[in-house]
Amino acid sequence: MAKVTAGVGVSHAGAIGAAWDTGRMNDPYWKPAFAGFEFSKNWIQAQKPDVVILIYNDHAAAFDLRLIPTFAIGCGERFRPADEGWGRRDVPAAEGHPELAAHLVQSLIYDEFDMTIVNELDVDHGFTVPMSLMFGTCERWPCRVIPIVVNVLQFPPPTGKRCLALGAAIRRAVECFDEDLNVMVFGTGGLSHQLQGPRAGLINRAFDNRFMDLLIASPEEAAAISHLEYLEQAGSEGIEMVMWLVMRGALDPEVLLRHRFYHVPASNTALGHLILENRTST
């Protein structure tokens, strides 16, 4: 049977991808940010996941105000990098896993999550930046990827509690898939940041680190954080943090912390990163 072995939380700021693509990883400004992922690249190379279920939010590359699914799942065979206005990132297209994706759709809908099925999907920096940070430069990503898109742009986004429950439902679905697969779940986005208005550039170290503490040791408490608290404490884009809760919901109640990293600023955002392993997989 397939098994969820680990979860990864990682920020996905577009500026990180731009720095990567223009060879600025060793610039004095960017080097400390990228240094936090040296352990991660070695770790994931050793773990050899077969499939990554990657939770991210689209930034109007695949969806716009004409169509706003709360939860959408990519069921296609390939997912190309999106052109976000300056050309496609020079990273590989991701190979999907249509059989597992179809199984997830059926299981999640029967588990009362109304998933939007997307058979053709271009993926933006919310997807490609975490892949670059975790796998480095590749001609081909070393695993298959199933994207799950969460609406955190247009009110109302799903609650943290709902996202945590979705993660648990994903794990149940994976564990009844009749193929021996090592599956990991990536929760991306955040941490605190605001891109516009009088509070543009807001970063809240205390809130970010409290959130990561709770995510590790008390996910139900993290899931109880309200939309208003995210807005007040983490900025207008801080709501992206609920996507880390999908990842956490797919894991054991008690997890092994393999890596934790926090750095500010990465452009005008806080850069957060966690690697959590399921005790039942060790």
Residues in the chain: 282
CATH number at residue 103: 3.40.830.10
DSSP code at position 189: -
What are residue 7's phi and psi, to 5 degrees?
-130, 150
Q: Tokens for 184, please give them.
A: 């990991």
- Residues of the chain falling short of pLDDT 70: 281-282
- Segment 206-263, tens digit of pLDDT: 999 999 999 999 999 999 999 999 999 999 999 999 999 999 999 999 999 999 999 9
Its sign, for the CA torsion 140, 127, 224, 174, is: negative
Please report the pLDDT score of residue 280 as a whole number: 78
Please report the pLDDT score of residue 218 as a whole number: 98
The C-alpha atoms of residue 103 and residue 99 are separated, in whole angstroms, by 6
Please report the pLDDT score of residue 282 as a whole number: 53
Please report the pLDDT score of residue 279 as a whole number: 86
**Residues tagged active-site:** 125, 193
Q: How many domains is the chain partitioned into structurally? A: 1
- Segment 193-209, tens digit of pLDDT: 999 999 999 999 999 99
| pTM attached to this predicted model | 0.97
Domain that residue 164 falls in: 3-281
Q: Tokens for 269, please give them.
A: 């955002």
The C-alpha atoms of residue 250 and residue 264 are separated, in whole angstroms, by 28
Please report the pLDDT score of residue 40 as a whole number: 98
